[in-house]
Chains A and B, each alone.
Chain A
Amino acid sequence: MVKDDSSKQLPARLRTLPGDDVRQIMWRFADRFDYQMVVQSARAVARGPVARAVAKGARNSHEWTEDKAALLHEFDAAGITSAAVDPEYGGYIEGPKNFVLGLLAYELAWVDAGAGTSSMANTLALAPIHERGTPEQKQTYMSRSVPPLPGDSRKIWRGAFALTESIPYVGVDTGVLSGRVRVAEWNDSEEPLLHVDKRGRFITNMGSANFVTAAVDSGDPRIKGSCMVILEETDPGTFDRGIPTRKLAHQLSSTRDPIFSLQVPASRIIGGYTVKDGVIIPNYSHADVIEAVFTRTRATPAIMTSAKLLSAVEPVIRYHRRRFRGAAGINEGTPRFDMGLQQKEDALHRLLDVWAAGEAGASLGFETARLLDTYDAIEKAKAAVLAQQGIAGGRAELKALRAREKDATEYVALAARRTPSPEESARLAMLDADPVVKFIVTESLSSVLIPAAKLWNTGHGVNMMREAVSMMGGYGITEDCPGFLGLKWIDGQLEATYEGPEVVQRRQLSVTMSRPIFLRQFQAWIAHLNAISREHPAMGAGTLASAMELWFWSREYLSTAKDAYGRDLYSNQRHGVTYPLADALAWLVATYHLVLDVLELKRKGPENPALAEGIEGLVSFYTDLTHIHAATAAGEATRICAELVFGYRAESDPALEVLASTVDVFKDVAPFNALRTKVDASLAGSKLAKDRAAESLSHVMIPEVLDYPV
């Protein structure tokens, strides 16, 4: 028996991979036992039946097979299906569910994101009804979507969300709808009967759906504009599930191109309608509904990709460590036996990059989900206040909100004050009590965090998943790869695509990131990071703050600068400017939230007796990991900004270059150069952090085998 000297190692090393206690602290659900139970429950399904289905080859078919359908019943039995439903309709979790659905997606995607998508798509189908449905619609479809209790012969209903249409219609552009709704019959004083034609493309859950929430436009002068309607499989007409999509990814979920030609009562218009001068006016257009839906549902796929990266850590360590065991002459106790490929710095450093990307994505994804959990109540309170003023939706609301944006910006500024004066505190309290201000603040943040998470977690996540795959050598690209890493790589590409591909997220960010209220918020983050850096200098918070300053300066500069031909740089159509800037922002935002989560671990970890013996190692490892990631993020952001700031200028005259130094040539962007130098200088120590983290990684204890089959 050896003497345990782990506590004497300096700096303390990471002892074990982070467990539930660590996650509960970092992602702030240590006090939510209902969530913790859902996590355990989903994990058992993911690492049990789901993993067995994958190992058995259930992904090798495009059809909706019994094996795949059986997983839905596993979800039902484990409380996964009803976790999304409010208690009044038969669910069991009180309050908003974005965060808990994120946890569910995380657990399922840890093994197979297709399984996660099956469960998520049901929530997506219900989302239009949840967000904008009438009370009757909610009652009907929510309660039908809850698994029956034992002894109840009721059949559970499953749904699909049909927005995307056959080419050349809806895809990234959701306005080009070809689906049509017409009046089929309308007798006086009776409810109109509608005829709906819709051809969907790539519609998830179509193999099992009993109802579909479909986006359609009016094909009849007696109906105004677009709407979403609910279609049921038994409605008169054609409910053709269509051919299965020959997917390369997520094969455990069902995706098909359905064709609907059905008669439905007008009461199926989501959110209801009014009749004016013989015309049916839906209360919500399809655009209104999908905006509400995508606001709530995009954090979930973002979390899925991050889960995959984090799930890759253990299999890669195990593979590397054991790579040479059993070979002749490689005996127990030798470094080659004990550490295998982990003797090589590159193997360790690359895995740290994968790990850090997973952590930052998870931090951003879960923060976004937590923010969204506050959204519903804030939105309702805002609507109530505006209603009192006679303002209900549409342009009038936008105008009313715009009028208050200055107050909201002031709120953000005051909230960031470390030592506010009494007057400032009083003003802050007043603004804080104003639901309209609160809404604008929350919305300005969520409209950045959601696209940033969806864009960065999935886009950069897939790139890093490729890194993880390559670390497994040839195995990585086989079905036998422990942890299904190769499958996860291609799965991530789908998460980057559905619910709005990267371009959609970049487009949204290019608008929301330039709102003064967000920029104010961003400056508050910089100040916060500088304060953190003073207190915790080893985290890389200073590097991140410098990179954020540089981004801020670059955005300001680009917003008024012109290219060599005198054309505006920051404009709607100049994707070459705004989109990369959005990418750079997403790097920074993700890293900022990792810093916050690691600080939380530093603060709350020591209070948990179960972590006591390892907390020092955990904190120092996570501090180093954050530092590593801050350096990478700063590097990315700096590179992008430099390209944008300098790239649109005319090539410099070589003759001039001989005469003057570069600094002189670009005098007008001197602040940029100064900021860039500051970022560069702040990188001091970041590679040392990587060496330390690598040392931890080469010693961390991992389980003997993976806890799910291959």
Chain B
Amino acid sequence: MSTGFHVVVLGSLVPDLLQTLEPVQGPSGPALKNELMLPAVLDPWAAHALFEAAHVAAATPGSKVWLVSLGPKAKLQQLMMSIAQKVPFELVAVDGSASGFTDPVDVAEALAGAIEKIPSLDRSRLLLFGGCASASRDAGVTVQLVGERLGITDQFLAADELTVSAEGVLTVLERVEGGRYLVSEVAGPPCAIAWATGNLPEPPNNPQVGMMNMRTIMPALQKAPAIQFASQGTVFQSVELPKQERRTRIVRDVPLDEMAREIADWIKG
């Protein structure tokens, strides 16, 4: 393809996964204890999507990557100090809550609105990327909802691989039941891909890439529109952490096969 893709990646921050995530009742509904104070990382599934986007863009001359993030501006800025070092992209920021206690419909509305406003975006070349899940809310529907709003009906969920043929045909591997892949072909963009883990390693940090990206990131953060989600709509009746169950048994010299069988039996119930 001579003109390349316009890849828009949807992704925002989640609290660092090593932190204790304790639901509390805040003044405006449920929240995580000290959420704003906790260090944040890019949502892992969105991160896979971003790395895949950079990979596709690097392999297809003329392509460009945008990262569209809805999150508190100050936290996004901090996040950029690591994420912006990994791959080249342009940030489109929306200043609002990245909490898990928001409604994906509202979030999708805000994200689609932000994408529509990207001035140089060619929607006919658009690949809409995001995570198939999230470490905060995990509604598993945001990419689809954004895709629908942008009129993108070719949607692939839980993708692990995208290849582009010389003719520009996209082949997508989607995870389906039973550890198998569904292989689909689509003639070309636009399409939406919600990524599972993909299969690319996390690129190392490179401050030089970061400083290139920062030229557009800071202006993007400065002009990020603020949005406030209406409090009506979704009501959270109760929020709790999944119960952790741990049973420790100390055994010696158990053959590997036996261990595997025992685990399989336990999973089968």
In the complex, which residues 149-171 of chain B have their Cβ closer than 8 Å to any Cβ of chain A? none
B211 on the interface (CB 8 Å rule)?
yes
Q: Tell me the bound Cα distance from A614 to B19 in angstroms.
A: 16
A371 on the interface (CB 8 Å rule)?
no
**B204 to A78, Cβ gap below 8 A?**
yes
**Which of A16-24, A478-486, A506-514 is found at the contact surface with chain B?**
A16-24
Residues from chain A with Cβ under 8 Å of B26 in the complex: 4
Would A612 and B36 be within 8 Å (CB), given that A34-B211, A37-B210, A705-B18 are in contact? yes
B81 on the interface (CB 8 Å rule)?
yes
A77 on the interface (CB 8 Å rule)?
yes
Smallest Cβ-Cβ distance to A14: which chain B residue: B37
A608 on the interface (CB 8 Å rule)?
yes
B194 on the interface (CB 8 Å rule)?
no
In the complex, which residues 19-51 of chain A have their Cβ closer than 8 Å to any Cβ of chain B? 19-21, 33-34, 36-41, 44-45
**A1 to B207, Cβ gap below 8 A?**
no
Q: Which of A1, A6, A38, A703 has the most CB of B within 10 A?
A: A1
Which residue in A4, A16, A34, A79 is a CB contact (below 8 Å) of B25? A4
Chain A interface size band reads 35 or more
**A704 to B208, Cβ gap below 8 A?**
no
Would A609 and B72 be within 8 Å (CB), given that A4-B31, A37-B207, A79-B207 are in contact? yes
B118 on the interface (CB 8 Å rule)?
no
Query: Interface readout for B21-41 with A: 1 if CB under 8 Å, 0 if not?
Result: 001111000110110111100
Residues from chain A with Cβ under 8 Å of B19 in the complex: 701, 703-704
Would A39 and B36 be within 8 Å (CB), given that A21-B74, A44-B205 are in contact? no
A3 on the interface (CB 8 Å rule)?
yes
**A613 to B34, Cβ gap below 8 A?**
yes
Which residue in A4, A78, A609 is a CB contact (below 8 Å) of B24? A4
B253 on the interface (CB 8 Å rule)?
no
Residues from chain B with Cβ under 8 Å of A328 in the complex: none
Would A21 and B211 be within 8 Å (CB), given that A41-B205, A701-B33 are in contact? no
Which residue in A4, A33, A44, A612 is a CB contact (below 8 Å) of B33? A4
In the complex, which residues 650-664 of chain A have their Cβ closer than 8 Å to any Cβ of chain B? none
Would A34 and B33 be within 8 Å (CB), given that A610-B78, A704-B19 are in contact? no
Would A19 and B81 be within 8 Å (CB), given that A609-B74, A614-B34, A703-B20 are in contact? no
Q: Tell me the bound Cα distance from A613 to B27 in angstroms.
A: 12
A433 on the interface (CB 8 Å rule)?
no
B183 on the interface (CB 8 Å rule)?
no
Q: Tell me the bound Cα distance from A256 to B101 in angstroms.
A: 58
**B85 to A37, Cβ gap below 8 A?**
yes
Q: Which of B18, B37, B78, B208 has the most CB of A within 10 A?
A: B37
Which residue in B36, B207, B218 is a CB contact (below 8 Å) of A610? B36
Smallest Cβ-Cβ distance to A609: which chain B residue: B74
Q: Tell me the bound Cα distance from A614 to B36 in angstroms.
A: 8
Q: Tell me the bound Cα distance from A30 to B229 in angstroms.
A: 29
Smallest Cβ-Cβ distance to A38: which chain B residue: B207
Residues from chain B with Cβ under 8 Å of A707 in the complex: 16, 18
Residues from chain B with Cβ under 8 Å of A15 in the complex: 34, 37
**A40 to B82, Cβ gap below 8 A?**
yes
**B36 to A79, Cβ gap below 8 A?**
no
Q: Tell me the bound Cα distance from A15 to B38 in angstroms.
A: 9
Residues from chain A with Cβ under 8 Å of B239 in the complex: 1
Residues from chain A with Cβ under 8 Å of B30 in the complex: 1
B214 on the interface (CB 8 Å rule)?
yes
Q: Tell me the bound Cα distance from A634 to B81 in angstroms.
A: 39
In the complex, which residues 602-620 of chain A have their Cβ closer than 8 Å to any Cβ of chain B? 608-614
**B73 to A611, Cβ gap below 8 A?**
no
**B36 to A1, Cβ gap below 8 A?**
no
Q: Which of A6, A15, A610 has the most CB of B within 10 A?
A: A610
Query: Interface readout for B80-101 with A: 1 if CB under 8 Å, 0 if not?
Result: 0110110000000000000000
Q: Tell me the bound Cα distance from A41 to B81 in angstroms.
A: 9
Would A16 and B34 be within 8 Å (CB), given that A37-B211, A41-B205, A609-B74 are in contact? yes
Q: Tell me the bound Cα distance from A20 to B74 in angstroms.
A: 12
Q: Tell me the bound Cα distance from A704 to B18 in angstroms.
A: 6
Smallest Cβ-Cβ distance to B20: which chain A residue: A704
A461, chain B: closest CB distance, angstroms: 25
Residues from chain A with Cβ under 8 Å of B211 in the complex: 33-34, 37, 92
**A92 to B208, Cβ gap below 8 A?**
yes
Q: Tell me the bound Cα distance from A315 to B117 in angstroms.
A: 47
A321, chain B: closest CB distance, angstroms: 11
B2 on the interface (CB 8 Å rule)?
no
**B240 to A1, Cβ gap below 8 A?**
yes
**A3 to B25, Cβ gap below 8 A?**
yes
**B81 to A33, Cβ gap below 8 A?**
yes
Q: Tell me the bound Cα distance from A3 to B22 in angstroms.
A: 11
Q: Tell me the bound Cα distance from A37 to B72 in angstroms.
A: 19
**B206 to A33, Cβ gap below 8 A?**
no
Q: Tell me the bound Cα distance from A214 to B85 in angstroms.
A: 37
Q: Tell me the bound Cα distance from A115 to B103 in angstroms.
A: 46
Q: Tell me the bound Cα distance from A612 to B72 in angstroms.
A: 12
Q: Which of A33, A44, A608, A611 has the most CB of B within 10 A?
A: A33
B238 on the interface (CB 8 Å rule)?
yes
Q: Tell me the bound Cα distance from A608 to B204 in angstroms.
A: 29
Residues from chain B with Cβ under 8 Å of A449 in the complex: none
**A33 to B214, Cβ gap below 8 A?**
yes
Query: Interface readout for A117-129 with B: 1 if CB under 8 Å, 0 if not?
Result: 0000000000000
**A611 to B37, Cβ gap below 8 A?**
yes
**A40 to B81, Cβ gap below 8 A?**
yes
**A79 to B82, Cβ gap below 8 A?**
no
Residues from chain A with Cβ under 8 Å of B36 in the complex: 609-614
Smallest Cβ-Cβ distance to B76: which chain A residue: A610
Beyond A40-B81, A701-B34: 7 further Cβ-contacts under 8 Å? A6-B34, A37-B81, A37-B85, A37-B207, A45-B205, A79-B206, A92-B211
Q: List 15 A-B contacts (CB under 8 A).
A: A1-B240, A19-B38, A20-B39, A20-B78, A20-B81, A36-B78, A37-B207, A41-B206, A41-B210, A44-B205, A92-B207, A610-B75, A613-B37, A614-B37, A707-B18
The 3 closest A-B pairs by CB, nearest first: A4-B24, A41-B205, A610-B74
Binding site for B on A (CB under 8 A): 1-4, 6, 15-16, 19-21, 33-34, 36-41, 44-45, 77-79, 83, 92, 608-614, 701-705, 707
